[in-house]
Amino acid sequence: MVNNELVDYSIQEVRKYHTISDFELLNQNGDTITQEFYRDKIYIADFFFTTCQTICPIMTDHMLQIQGELKDDPEVLLLSHTVIPKADSVPQLKKYALEKGVNDSQWNLVTGDKKQIYELARKSYLAAKSEGDGGTFDMIHTENFVLVDKKNRIRGFYDGTDPKAIEELLEDLTILKKEGE
């Protein structure tokens, strides 16, 4: 169940299986990543920044765990959006990816237009509470991992800092794959 505080007021009446809007962002290799990259794939999305010292390192470790568990699974991908695109340029994301052991073929760390990323977080992934002021101090800091099915529909939310929630996500992923959706 999604906490209503997390949902932008303009879409609070949308019911089951909210879908993700189209996007165009750059990954750690400077490649343009759109929803087309995720066509007919299940993916797990989150929001982070490379200099975060609080929840992001734990979340990244959990994404790395998921990457390891799914390394031989071509059906499932990972997508991490920076929430500080001005600082997290393509070279910065590449450096971070190399330091952490990100598998480029499975996991995109993306940057781009802050407004687009924040709109995705708030209105597509339903992962952030505030409307934001659009200014310098407007920042999304959320521990949510979002499970998205092959039809770009949200199928679950998980606390990316909680090992039990990661186990639940992996179980739900197995069920989702059996559904064939």
| 100 phi/psi in degrees, rounded to 5 | -90, -20
Greatest CA separation for the chain: 44
CA-CA-CA-CA dihedral for 54, 50, 162, 17, to nearest 10? 130
Distances in whole angstroms, Cα of residue 136 to Cα of each of 38, 41, 110:
31, 35, 20
Residue 56 labelled as part of a binding site:
yes
| 4 phi/psi in degrees, rounded to 5 | -55, -30
DSSP state of 43: E
In 3D, which of 150, 171, 139 has the Cα closest to residue 69?
Answer: 171
Residue 141 labelled as part of a binding site:
yes
Residue 62 labelled as part of a binding site:
no
Q: Which residues are annotated as a binding site for Cu cation?
A: 52, 56, 141
Q: Which residues are annotated as a binding site?
A: 52, 56, 141
